[in-house]
Chain A
Amino acid sequence: MIKEKDYENIVVFMCNECGQGSANTAGVARMNYDPAVKIIPVQCTGQVGPIQIMDALNNGADAVACIGCCLGACHFFNGNILSMHRIKLMKKLFKELGYSDQNINQYTSRAAEGETAVGDFVDIVERLSKAIKEGGKFEVEC
């Protein structure tokens, strides 16, 4: 276990198809990942909007990410792409407010390959470390 970390909660919204599929595959293969990652299952990342992301951040999440299906493979037509648009706008919003944009991200994964999900978790942690270095944690609403 890692002690005295700068972060405790990383909320990851994972879609019911490729997202959770790859996490399950990783689990079957007994792959390790950071214990701060808390997975929230959703039907499609297209369901996750700025409201859910802000709720997570305002309630103690240090970083929030969405993991959906690969581009062109969304089981609900284009939910993953729509989510990417919204997250991109949120990233810009945080930059405009003088915060790091590295604690909100979106990824894709493949259900058959557990390492895609675990790799995404590693990237989330790496980006969060960068965000903490860039200007501290996200402060709860003004």
Chain B
Amino acid sequence: MKLNVKVFQFNGCNKCFNETILLNKESDLNVELISKPNEWKGERIDVAVVTGYILPNDKKILEKIQAHTSKIIAYGDCTTTGGVFGLANQKGHEVSPIKKLGIRVNEINGCLAEYEELRTVIIGKDLSKFKPLCKVCKRKSTCHYLDEVHRQIELSENQEMCFNDLGFLCTGYIAQECKERCVDYGSPCRGCKPMIERSGIRMLGMFGTLMGNIEVATEASKYGATDKLADIEDDVTNSLPDIVGDFFRFSLPSSGLPKGRLASMGSLLEDIFIGRLIEELPLITGLLGGSNAISMTLNVIEAYERGTKIEITEQTKKYREELRSFELDLHKAIKDQDPSKYKEITEKIRRIAGNMNLSNVFFGGFKTLVDLNDNFQDYKTNIFSVIEGDYKNGSIEYSIDTNGVIIKMKIMEGKK
């Protein structure tokens, strides 16, 4: 007898929802994808898969789902921890991990969450034990204290040393091994698949310790007649302009931190971007763009390249055009719910962009070699400078300050 599986997409990016199209190729499952859960009439189901981020007013529908099934699988970071949309909680939004609404779930973390794990949990098997990411990472770590912290704008050519040793914040310490493997494509891990509870807070402690050689400001205590930690800005605070985005990118609502009290600057989607750094922008759009992630990421990158006159090569243009055409093919495969076509196209995207989060795509070109026969110099990214200003391309408009922090973001939805 076939298992009756229904996949419910709640809010936000639909990348995990689209990934469940692959379930259609399994002969022992009877799968239905439901993109509007509030219109679902309700019938007995064997397994419910929930994707997308959850808001408190989704509780009623989730309880309805819970009443009709004995197994709910929360698939992807947005559902399990709040995911990248959870960053909007910094501006007072209420993105909530599904467990906080009192729903009993099996959790599969990841952004993008892995299809193989979903398949295993649906058929009722246990997930195999994962190794820590650092154990499988090709880079070698020494854990020496850092003399300085680098931002991703100062890209390093060193492919052998640990990102953290080089001074680039990598949250691989708290992460499990994964399929997306951003570290293999020149992007430090952002910890979408944490191994431990409250991973962001723990990583903050770890990186704070690593920063041991960087000067921290102290001052004489007025009453105690000894030294105390000073409140002024120093090398430690200037090294990390966006701690929330760096350490809590996927876990702010489940981190144990209080809900942010900053003023909202627009929609939930726009609030995610405010306060983030320019070099993190392509990674964030790659994460939350859903089926439009490629065009959204390339729009963001090209806006900055045009505005700051970063030259790009013909080869870069060619690869970007290919990615854009793959995106159109992907839309078609999703519309037709065709698993083999979907798999074929995502593999093509992965070949150029590294993974479905587009880790290899960056300002000025690509971070790692796409094809072994290529001359990497033809499309390699270079160090770029942060230039204050307003940038616009297609449906996206944003402004950055002198420090490279995004202070304004406008996304015209429904427009490519």
Question: Which of A78-123 touch B at CB < 8 Å?
Answer: 78, 81-82, 84-93, 96-99, 101-102, 105-110, 113, 115-120, 122-123
Q: Please state if A70 and B226 are interface contacts (CB–CB under 8 Å).
A: yes
Of B201, B244, B259, which contacts A50 at CB under 8 A? B201
Interface presence of A35 (CB below 8 A): no
Of B204, B207, B208, B212, which contacts A78 at CB under 8 A? B212
Q: Please state if A123 and B223 are interface contacts (CB–CB under 8 Å).
A: yes
Q: Please state if A138 and B236 are interface contacts (CB–CB under 8 Å).
A: no
| Residue numbers in B under 8 Å from A89 (CB-CB) | 204, 207-208, 211, 236-237, 240, 243
Q: Please state if B208 and A85 are interface contacts (CB–CB under 8 Å).
A: yes
| Residue numbers in B under 8 Å from A4 (CB-CB) | none
User: How far apart are B103's CB and chain A's nearest CB, in angstroms?
Assistant: 18
Chain B residue total in the interface (Cβ 8 A): 45
Closest residue of chain B to A48 (Cβ to Cβ) is: B205
Inter-chain contact count A-B, CB under 8 Å?
154
Residue of B89, B207, B229 ringed by the most chain A CB atoms within 10 A: B229
Interfacial residues, chain B to chain A (CB-CB below 8 A): 89-90, 94, 198, 201-202, 204-205, 207-209, 211-212, 214, 216-218, 221-229, 231, 234, 236-237, 240, 242-244, 247, 253, 255-262, 275
Further pairs besides A86-B209, A92-B237: 18, Cβ < 8 Å: A51-B201, A91-B229, A93-B247, A97-B90, A98-B260, A102-B231, A105-B229, A108-B221, A108-B227, A113-B225, A116-B226, A119-B223, A119-B225, A119-B226, A120-B221, A120-B223, A122-B224, A141-B258
22 contacts between A and B (CB under 8 A): A49-B205, A51-B198, A81-B212, A82-B208, A85-B236, A86-B209, A88-B216, A88-B217, A88-B229, A88-B234, A97-B261, A98-B260, A98-B262, A107-B228, A108-B228, A113-B225, A115-B224, A116-B225, A120-B224, A120-B228, A138-B258, A142-B89
